[in-house]
Amino acid sequence: MGFASSKVCILVVEAASGKRGIAAALSRLGDDARLEFHTDTETSIARARSGEVDVVVVDLGLGGDAERLMDSLRRDGPPAIVVDDRLSNDRALEWFRRGAADCVALEGGDAELLAVVVLEQIRRWRAIHERGAAENRIRELEHYSESVVQNMNSAVLVVDQDGTVTTSNAPAVEILGRSTKALLGQSVIDWFKDASGKGMLASTLADGRTFKGAESQITRPNGAVLPIGISIAPIADGNGVTHGAVATFQDLTGIQQLQRQLLQSEKMASIGQLAAGVAHEINNPMGFIHANLFQMAEYLSDLRRVWTQVELLQKAVSRAEMAEIQRTSERLAGIVDETDVDFLLTDLAKAIRESQEGSERIRHIVHDLRDFSYPDSGRQVVADVNQCLESTANIVWPMMKHLVVLEKEYSDLPAVTCFPMQLKQVFMNLLVNAYQAIEERLGDAAHRSGETGRIQLRTEPTGNHVRITITDDGVGIDAENLDRIFDPFFTTKKVGSGTGLGLSTTYSIVQRHGGTIQVESTPDDGTTFRILLPVDGADVVG
Amino acid sequence: MSSDETRSLLIVDDEARILSALRRTLRREGYEILTAETAEEALRILDERSVDAILSDNKMPVMNGSEFLREAARRCPNAVRMIITGWTEEIPPSQLESLGVCALVSKPWDDDKLKATLRRALGL
């Protein structure tokens, strides 16, 4: 509550209008003062309590009404100044006791004092009033910020310069697994599982740095570790001196699960695109292994026929039955001739060898596929990027081998901290795109006349990074599309042959690794993708 | 054609092991079997002589099965044409028809069915 206007409002309650010259005494206050004159006590009390009046001047000529008026203003009204023609000290004391703020005698030259006294009382009244209002405002703000903090969906912690918790809300209590009591006054630093979280908070408190949407982990009292997304900002005073920090954070468990699911389903979609190539690659060896097994069974039954005669011959020899030996030998020679035993033995060995090679090929394909379709553990590990690229190229090779010459130029690379499965998905997306671009340039199978395309894979170390370059000589990307290729659901492929998520997934995976991806393309000439990955993995800070 | 004549069959597949497995399967069927690992090699054979039946893989480098069969039909129009493939879905039925393909065999194949298909195709 405040004053209705900056103009002061003086309520004068007189016994009879204008009798004592109060108006004259107050006229010195000029236009800044609005004077309101009343003779009726009830109206005066109502006006005095309206909140619009700064001071009440009460004419003691009112007699008993003056007392009633003073009593009613005593508790919560504006200050009241009593005036009379003459005022003895005793009488003045009595009115002070009744709650008068001041007493002024109008006779004897003191009339001039009235304006001064009135102003002084207004000043005091306004000072008290304003302080009260400010206190109210502070209480309101505290209440407001408290209810904002408590009702936020994000967890909030406010810490002082030592990292000691001064404020927390319900989501913070839930995520940290500690009661409000166990939070307040405790140091937050040790709850961070990883060095990066501790480092961020320390850097905010020491240098006033701000972090947005960083990832970290916290440990609950029961030992459980939770992934969190956290933003930290310093709390500084007007001079820029940091007095603490405010941190908002969320539990990322659910989000990370969704992220993994999305990655996994995108990966499965790219496996779907490979189905034809993989089916070929498996069905060819399956075809000849299957046929060979049936033929080997036939060979075996032929050889069994031969063996039966050999056994009969052995028996005849042991009994020395010459005639039987003669007959059996002839039968044996006939069957050996008929079944072509020499061929059977040679071809059986060949069929076994070929089938072994075929089954080995199938084993490889299935192994690579399984390797590729496993989800990542959600934790970065140290891996060989050359191997990731090579095993992915092995999977897509069957699909493209009839159209593409694959050139590989791998350099020795340092081990890279990464999500290997996600990197394989990146390579898969880029390789499939490269193949499709070549397929598009070469056109319909009927008009190809033996022409093939070329895909180059290159890896090299550069300082703290590794660079992976994938170049194709396919159809290329139009300049107007080049800015949009990493947008989700942007696709120029035919309906059903692309999800429009491949490159946007690729982009976000590279970004998650703290890396960059660049594209260069000339229509009808080809496209080059360059990926730069930090050897030490994603920089979680900042 | 009478049934005691020896029928000739040209098999084309870029996978040599498929060729040798098919040879094994058809060993007792009494066909004269010719094989080629590329469409070009098969066309060279057809330049020299005619055959009664052609069984071709579809997915091959340089020239695929459909292209090859189109060429083969020009050189040897009387040969019955068949495709053997690991992924039958990749060839639309309309294309089979336009190529005059009388049978589509999928890998891995059933030996008895394959033999029956060949016999039927050759009118035996």
CATH code, B40: 3.40.50.2300
pLDDT in tens, A453-481: 999 999 999 999 999 999 999 999 888 88
Specify the number of domains making up chain B: 1
Q: Among A72-86, A523-537, B7-21, which is the least confidently predicted range?
A: A72-86
Enumerate the H helices of A15-161 as residue ranges: 22-26, 41-48, 64-74, 89-97, 111-151
Does the beta carbon of B25 lie under 8 angstroms from any beta carbon of chain A?
A: yes
Measured between CB atoms, does A352 come within 8 Å of chain B?
no
pLDDT > 50? residue A540: no
- Residues B67, A445: C-beta atoms closer than 8 Å: yes
Final residue of a structural domain among A328, A354, A375: A375
Which of the listed residues A207, A231, A251 is the one where a domain comes to its end?
Answer: A251
Q: Residue B107: which of A284, A357, A448 has the nearest Cβ?
A: A284
Specify whether A409 is located in the same domain as A517: yes
Cis ω for the linkage preceding A285 (within 30 of 0): no
Query: With contacts defined as CB-CB under 8 Å, which chain A residues touch B22?
Result: 291
My answer on whether A74 and A168 are in the same domain is: no
Q: What is the pLDDT of residue A366?
A: 82
Average of per-residue pLDDT across A387-411 = 89
Q: Which residues pair with A418 in a beta bridge?
A: A381
What pLDDT score does A151 carry?
84
B1 occurs within a structural domain: no
The parent domain of residue B49 ranges over 8-121
Residue of A nearest to B68 (CA): A446
Give helix A502-512 / helix A253-319 axis angle, nearest 10°: 100
Residues A181 and A242 in one domain: yes
pLDDT at site A23: 83
Question: Does B1 lie at the interface with A, CB-CB under 8 angstroms?
Answer: no
Q: Is B105 within the bounds of a domain?
A: yes
Domain's final residue, options A328, A344, A375: A375
| pLDDT classification of B79: cutoffs 50, 70, 90 | very high
Q: Report the alpha-carbon distance of residue A456 to residue A444 in Å, rounded.
A: 23
B102 is a domain residue: yes
Residue found under tokens 């005036």: A83
A496 close to B (CB below 8 A):
no
Q: Is residue A1 part of a domain?
A: no
The sheet with strand B32-36 has its strands ordered as B32-36, B8-12, B53-57, B80-85, B101-106
Residues A194 and A138 in one domain: no
Which CATH number belongs to the domain containing residue A411 in this structure? 3.30.565.10
Do the domain assignments include residue A409? yes
Residue A190: its pLDDT value, please? Answer: 82
Residue B31 included in any domain:
yes
Q: Are residues A356 and A479 in the same domain?
A: no
**pLDDT value at A375 more than 80:** no
Over residues A378-400, mean pLDDT: 88
pTM of the model: 0.52
| Record: contact B15-A347, CB cut-off 8 A | no
pLDDT band at A508 (very low <50, low <70, confident <90, very high): confident
Is the Cβ pair B21, A288 closer than 8 Å?
Answer: yes
Is the Cβ pair B63, A285 closer than 8 Å?
A: no
Q: Is residue B24 part of a domain?
A: yes
Write the pLDDT tens digit of every residue in A206-252. Answer: 888 888 878 888 888 888 888 888 999 998 887 778 889 999 998 88
Q: Are residues A244 and A262 in the same domain?
A: no
Q: Could you tell me the pLDDT band of residue A41, with boundaries at 50, 70 and 90?
A: confident
Residue A2 within a domain? no
**Tens digits of per-residue pLDDT, A350-365?**
999 999 999 988 888 8
What span, in angstroms and rounded, lies between the C-alpha atoms of A24 and A26? 5
Instruction: Report H helices in A186-228.
Output: 195-207
ipTM for the whole complex: 0.87
Test B20 with A446 for CB contact under 8 angstroms.
no
Whether residue A181 is found in the same domain as residue A130: no
The pLDDT-based confidence of A32 (bands split at 50, 70, 90) is confident
Out of A98-102, A297-301, B66-70, least confident range:
A98-102
CA gap A389, A396 in Å, rounded = 11
Nearest CA in chain B to A358: B17
Window A:446-465, CB contacts with B under 8 Å:
446, 448, 450, 452
Instruction: Based on the fold, state whether residues A100 and A167 are members of the same structural domain.
Output: no
The pLDDT of residue A308 is above 90:
yes
- Which of B15, B24, B25 lies at the smallest CB-CB distance from A284? B15
pLDDT averaged over chain A? 85
User: Which among B55, B107, B113 is the top mutation candidate for probing chain A, defined by the most A β-carbons within 10 Å of its own β-carbon?
Assistant: B107
Domain total in chain A: 4
Residues A398 and A528 in one domain: yes
- The CATH code of the domain that includes A172 is 3.30.450.20
- Type of residue numbered A90: D
pLDDT of A411-453, one tens digit each? 999 999 999 988 998 998 899 889 989 988 887 654 566 788 9
Residues 6+ apart with CB under 8 A from B7: B1, B30, B31, B32, B52, B53, B122, B124
Instruction: Examine the domain organization and report whether A116 and A162 are in the same domain.
Output: no
pLDDT tens for A138-178 read 888 888 888 888 888 889 989 998 889 988 898 899 888 88
Would you place residue A276 in the very low, low, confident or very high pLDDT band (cuts 50, 70, 90)? low
Domain of residue A212: give its range.
152-251
Compare CB distances from B25 to A286, A295, A452 and report the shortest one's residue: A295
pLDDT at A539: 54
Question: Does one domain contain both A120 and A213?
Answer: no
The pLDDT, as a whole number, for residue A418 is: 92
The more confidently predicted of residues A17 and A252 is A252
Contacts of B106 in chain A (CB under 8 A): 283
Q: Report if residue A3 sits inside a domain.
A: no
pLDDT at A496 over 60: no
- B49 assigned to some structural domain: yes
> Are A401 and B64 a contacting pair at CB < 8 A?
no
CB within 8 Å of A401: residues ≥ 6 apart: B61
Q: Is A271 on the interface with B (CB under 8 A)?
A: no
Residue A1 banded pLDDT, cuts 50, 70, 90: very low
H/E element, B116: helix B111-121
Residue B2 lies in a domain: no
Q: A214 vs A510, which has greater pLDDT?
A: A510
Q: A446 and A342 share a domain?
A: no
The whole-number pLDDT of residue A497 equals: 56
Residue A342 reports pLDDT greater than 80: yes
| B110: helix, strand or coil | coil
Question: CB distance B17–A285 less than 8 Å?
Answer: yes
